[in-house]
Amino acid sequence: MRLLKAFASIILALLVFSMYLWQPEVSLAGFVANLTSPVSNNIYQLYLYGETGSSGTVHHGVDFSAPEGTPVKAAASGTVYISTDLIDENGKYYSYGKYIVIEHYDVTRGTYYTLYAHLSSRSVNQGDTVTYGQIIGYSGNTGNSGGPHLHFEIRKGTYSYYSVRNPECWLQRSNYDGYGSVYSMCKTSSGSRIEGMRISGATKPESGYGASYTYARMSNGAEFGDIGDYSINYHIARANPGSVTLTYAKTGYTTKTQNVTIDANISKRINDMIW
């Protein structure tokens, strides 16, 4: 009897050890990009995340070309952290205008925040609990805005300008309606991430053009928003499926191309580009 118990213990130990050695392949997409898009409209392609605008300010988020009154949905479940109107002493909106910030938490990313700005109206208040896909307000043109759109940000860890992340790397990749996406890394031969690289060549349904942009660096040297945790720094989302040639361009770097296939309803990591 003791011999049988000892034998059973050995078998159990071997099974546990084999499970430890064999690890199922984990899809990176499941960890990074499972947030619901706040609107169904596409991301405006001419002022991407990390790019510098005419005022010299680095873009902290992405802009969705949403007509005024478009329902804006929570990208994930959480608690409303801010819901307010930014109005100056003269009663005029400035900066984000009417805006909402939601605090989220999950075991993979910890605490992070999503921000929805330039709204025409807000449907939730500070402290409210919201679920992903819930309507929290409506797009507008309040604040420092050149026309109706939704400005959307993600901040990881703390609610700070220095903790922003590229929303294109976080947005859901399953609700494609026949479109697909690819994501990867631009880096040097020593492994350093390359900032400010524009990647183009795919097409998107609304704009007919698809691009992405790697992270930027703030004037104080802080890295502005790549997702180093997952070794990616760009994501071309909701692109038309097919064989495309991506072009990688940045002043001071040799322009390179990469042939990739974008598959319908699938998001996949493609080869890193190395300089």
Output 217-224 pairs: Cβ under 8 A, ≥24 positions apart.
218/58, 218/162, 222/162, 223/193, 223/195, 224/50, 224/58, 224/162, 224/164, 224/195
Handedness of CA 192, 225, 209, 29 (dihedral sign): positive
Q: How many angstroms separate the CA atoms of 66 and 43, rounded?
A: 9
Catalytic residues: 149
Query: Partners of 181 in the beta sheet?
Result: 267
Q: How many angstroms separate the CA atoms of 54 and 194, rounded?
A: 22
